[in-house]
Amino acid sequence: MQPQRLTDAAWPALPLDAWEPSRATLHMWTQIVGKVRLALSPHVNHWWQVPLYVTARGLTTSPIVNGDRTFEIDFDFLTHNLDFRANDGSAKVVPLYARSVADFYREFRAVLRAMNIDVRIWPMPVEIPNPIAFNKDETHAAYDPTHVAAFHRCLLTVDAVLKEFRGGFIGKASPVHFFWGSFDLAVTRFSGRPAPPREGADAVTREAYSHECSSAGFWPGVAGLSEAAFYSYTAPAPPGFAEAKVRPAAARYDTALGEFLLMYEDARQSLDPAAAVLDFCQSTYEAGASLGQWDRVALERESRKP
């Protein structure tokens, strides 16, 4: 008898060809919301003031200070609403349904004005090819609640796994956070040493990679990959990193991306997907940290060391 695989409830199927239209639209909507957090939040190292965070119901900006008020904006993927709430009791809702980015942006701006939230954002998407200004984007207009709900269940599960992985490190580490620019959930560990400046890098990239790091995360869909995937990289990559032996067996190094990949479906089909993802994160981190001569004795919890 074959052992029973863990339930699909926590690890739902997420075929990119089916959910890509909704993913592309939602990507633009998260950028619109994320730009408000960027505009009103004080700078934090490595741009940690920028991301969104996974919640039981979706994604949140977390509290944002605006003058003498505090507000937050939440994607609720259970009711399929975008919720605005302020500490003075005011609240507004923007429904999430199949509508263009331009239409969503117009209503979003109207709600900000109605709630007296004074903020200017640059209305151009970032980190995507061929960007279209939010107020002119009639191209991206899909929203399938079933696919979005599956995406949210993925986020909940992966968020928990990455937090488990983060707990094994006592050095400097990022929160587990959702970057709306690249549309991925990630966590990053740092060696504690500055990294050599990246030649020709822009200001954003220079700040993001100012120190040696090892990052692991989850793409629910990305250009150049046929499906959702977990990724891991070390920056700067030490000699021999690409040839390192990592786990599980389905993991591979992608030379074009310069990162290790574990396809989501390969993890999902394993007997214990969470263990497979943790093994991937840990073994790729160990490869980069050992080859890069990180002080692993000082940086790792004793109970988590192999």
Q: Is residue 143 part of a domain?
A: no
What does the pLDDT look like over 40-62, one tens digit per residue? 999 999 999 999 999 999 999 99
Question: Do 161 and 264 sit in the same domain of this protein?
Answer: yes
pLDDT at 216 over 90: yes
Question: Do 173 and 290 sit in the same domain of this protein?
Answer: yes
What local confidence, expressed as pLDDT, does residue 1 receive? 42
Q: Is residue 1 part of a domain?
A: no
Question: Do 88 and 215 sit in the same domain of this protein?
Answer: no
Q: What phi and psi, each to the nearest 5 degrees, are found at residue 106?
A: -60, -45
Question: Do 41 and 131 sit in the same domain of this protein?
Answer: yes
Question: Do 130 and 159 sit in the same domain of this protein?
Answer: no
Question: Do 165 and 225 sit in the same domain of this protein?
Answer: yes
Q: What angle do CA 143, 145, 148 make, to 5 degrees?
A: 85
The pLDDT confidence band at residue 125, using thresholds 50, 70 and 90, is very high
Q: Which residues pair with 82 in a beta bridge?
A: 75, 94
Q: Which residues contact 68 (CB under 8 A, 6 or more apart)?
A: none
Q: Is residue 56 part of a domain?
A: yes
Where residue 90 falls (left for φ over 0; alpha for ψ -120 to 50; beta otherwise) is beta
Lowest mean pLDDT among 7-11, 90-94, 97-101, 160-164: 7-11
What does the pLDDT look like over 223-258, one tens digit per residue? 567 799 999 999 999 999 999 999 999 999 999 999
Q: What phi and psi, each to the nearest 5 degrees, are found at residue 26?
A: -60, -35
Task: In whole angstroms, give the CA distance from residue 217 to residue 269.
Answer: 19
The pLDDT confidence band at residue 2, using thresholds 50, 70 and 90, is very low
How many independent structural domains does the chain possess? 2
Mean pLDDT, residues 126-138 taken together:
96
Question: Do 106 and 228 sit in the same domain of this protein?
Answer: no
Question: Do 21 and 85 sit in the same domain of this protein?
Answer: yes
Question: Do 161 and 131 sit in the same domain of this protein?
Answer: no
Question: Do 281 and 184 sit in the same domain of this protein?
Answer: yes
Buried b (16+ CB within 10 A) or exposed e, 154-180: bbbbbbebbeebbebbeeebbebbbbb
Which residues span the domain enclosing 231? 150-304
Question: Do 132 and 161 sit in the same domain of this protein?
Answer: no
Q: Is residue 11 part of a domain?
A: no
Q: Is residue 76 part of a domain?
A: yes
First-to-final CA distance of the chain: 32
